[in-house]
Structure 1
Amino acid sequence: MDARFLYPLESCKIIHLLRHGEAEHNVAAKKDRSALLSPHLFDAPLTDHGNQQVENLREQLETSGLLKRIELVVTSPLFRTMQTAVGVFGKESKQARMTSSPPIVALEVARDRNGVRPPDMRRNVSEYQTLFPTVDFSQIESEEDNLWRPDVRESEEEILARGLEFMKWLWKRPEKEVAVVSHGIVLQHMMYVFANDCDDSTRNELFKRFVNCEIRTVVIVDKGSLISSTAEN
């Protein structure tokens, strides 16, 4: 056994990072990247294949028992991510014949890279509330999308700052096991926050590009609390 680290459980959180299922803009972009500028792909939904990916993952998590352990689901407030979040974590379990659904909270900091591309622009909150009645939108401040800009694409530095903001928010939550449903580039930048704490082999494995409906699990540790605890003793 090669155990390099030992941390108390109360100083750790288990985070399950999930990229949304295949969406219409993903398919269009494989054929022609310029399609991402099409207004017809505004807030792109999942494809039929994407919905099947979601259903398959739901069954996988039910079988593994992971679904019952999730205490909170945080989702990007875009159509494709909320379809994925509700489809995987929020619907009735066919096996247990009972509802197994943790709270699902929508957060702006978990959304896709902002600006220029219509697939990354969200709808009004009131419309989403009708479409996704089980999602909590109380953390979103504005009815309309005030973040998406038609002529400016969000920089990677800004995405990284969002990742740091999100991790700070997440750490203040009481839940110990959380699922995050977001977008490939955003999930990568969330993990970049901890890049200096990983060796090269771990970094290469964890930070590679997410495929659609891929779930990746990490454990984050509050080293600050460990230092404080050691100093007190």
Structure 2
Amino acid sequence: MTGHIPDPELSELGQRQCRDLRKNLMGKIPKEFDVGLIVVSPMIRTIQTALLAFGGLIEKGIPIQAHAGWQENSEKPCDTGSSLDKLKALFPQVDFSHVDPVFPDKTSPAGAKYAHTKQAIVRRAQDSLRELYNRPEKFIIVVSHSGFLRRGVSGHYFFNADYRIFDFNEPENDTYSLKQWDSTLAGGLGWSWEKTVPIGEGLPEDDFSA
């Protein structure tokens, strides 16, 4: 079962989907999207996705930074990252200098902000959105995970390698939310469901035990 594979790589299907994503987006960058930064979850499959889909941008000098705030939700082996030393050796193109040194810990008191609970995940999503909102770049690509993006960040479903485009709403009481472009309501590749879920739906509360 894939859930028991630690920090798995992309499958052959996943690699093909990334190439489809690249074909879809490359004609629009920079004409429609003035990309200034790529932010990626520091997990093998998301880094591979970023390099396959956006390698051309990286070669042209667009920086790619790993960020622990965008990792997946659960504590399963498949959703827990590798050591930073291993990732740095595998992916020298990626800037890991901004990754929280507690990564990939999600279970100790030191890693509590990455715990698999509703409160921690929603708080982490808000912290990550706040950082993006305050960055100077006009357009930022984020390569993250469907579970975190749906339940913590946006409420929208993401099929593998599909994408959505958002603007920020004006923050209210230091709460950050997104407004999606009409052109990606079914995903930019048309692969994703249009239905939405409430932020935090299905996530365990802090007192959850199993």
1:161 is aligned to 2:123: yes
Deviation of 1:118 (Å): 0.5
The number of residues matched between the two structures is 166
Deviation of 1:123 (Å): 1.1
List structure 1 segments (4+ residues) > 4 angstroms apart after TM superposition. Answer: none
The equivalent residue for 2:64 is: 104
- Contact 1:89–1:102 (8 Å) recurs in 2: no
Over the aligned positions, Cα root-mean-square deviation in angstroms equals 2.5
Deviation of 1:92 (Å): 6.9
From 52, 65, 83, the equivalent of 2:48 is: 83
Structure 2 counterpart of 1:170, one-letter code:
L
Structure 1 counterpart of 2:136, one-letter code:
P
Unaligned segments of structure 1, at least 5 residues: 1-27, 29-34, 94-98, 193-206, 225-233
- Contact 1:167–1:190 (8 Å) recurs in 2: no
SS at match of 1:71: strand
Distance 1:144 1:109 in 2: 10
The equivalent residue for 1:132 is: 91
User: TM-score if structure 2 supplies the norm length?
Assistant: 0.70
User: 1:140/1:208 Cα in 2 relative to 1: closer, same or farther (>3 Å)?
Assistant: closer
User: 1:187/1:144 Cα in 2 relative to 1: closer, same or farther (>3 Å)?
Assistant: closer
From 214, 217, 224, the equivalent of 2:165 is: 217
Distance 2:168 2:82 in 1: 32
SS at match of 1:141: coil
User: TM-score if structure 1 supplies the norm length?
Assistant: 0.64
Higher relative contact order at CA 8 Å, sep ≥6: structure 1 or structure 2?
A: 1
- Contact 2:40–2:66 (8 Å) recurs in 1: yes
Distance 1:211 1:105 in 2: 23
Structure 2 counterpart of 1:163, one-letter code:
A
Structure 2 counterpart of 1:111, one-letter code:
Q
User: 1:178/1:92 Cα in 2 relative to 1: closer, same or farther (>3 Å)?
Assistant: closer
User: 1:148/1:89 Cα in 2 relative to 1: closer, same or farther (>3 Å)?
Assistant: farther
The equivalent residue for 1:4 is: none
- Contact 1:54–1:84 (8 Å) recurs in 2: yes
Distance 1:113 1:52 in 2: 25
Identity between Structure 1 and Structure 2 (%)? 27
Greater alpha carbon shift after TM alignment, 154-163 vs 183-192:
183-192
Structure 2 counterpart of 1:46, one-letter code:
L
Structure 2 counterpart of 1:121, one-letter code:
T
Listed one character per residue, the Cα deviations across residues 124-143 of structure 1 (whole Å, up to 9, x for unaligned) are 11111111111110112327
Unaligned segments of structure 2, at least 5 residues: 109-113, 173-210
Q: Which structure has more strand as a fraction of its residues?
A: 1
SS at match of 1:58: helix
Structure 1 counterpart of 2:100, one-letter code:
E
User: 1:190/1:74 Cα in 2 relative to 1: closer, same or farther (>3 Å)?
Assistant: farther
User: 1:62/1:144 Cα in 2 relative to 1: closer, same or farther (>3 Å)?
Assistant: closer
Distance 1:125 1:110 in 2: 15
- Contact 1:124–1:143 (8 Å) recurs in 2: no
The equivalent residue for 2:12 is: 48
Deviation of 1:43 (Å): 0.2
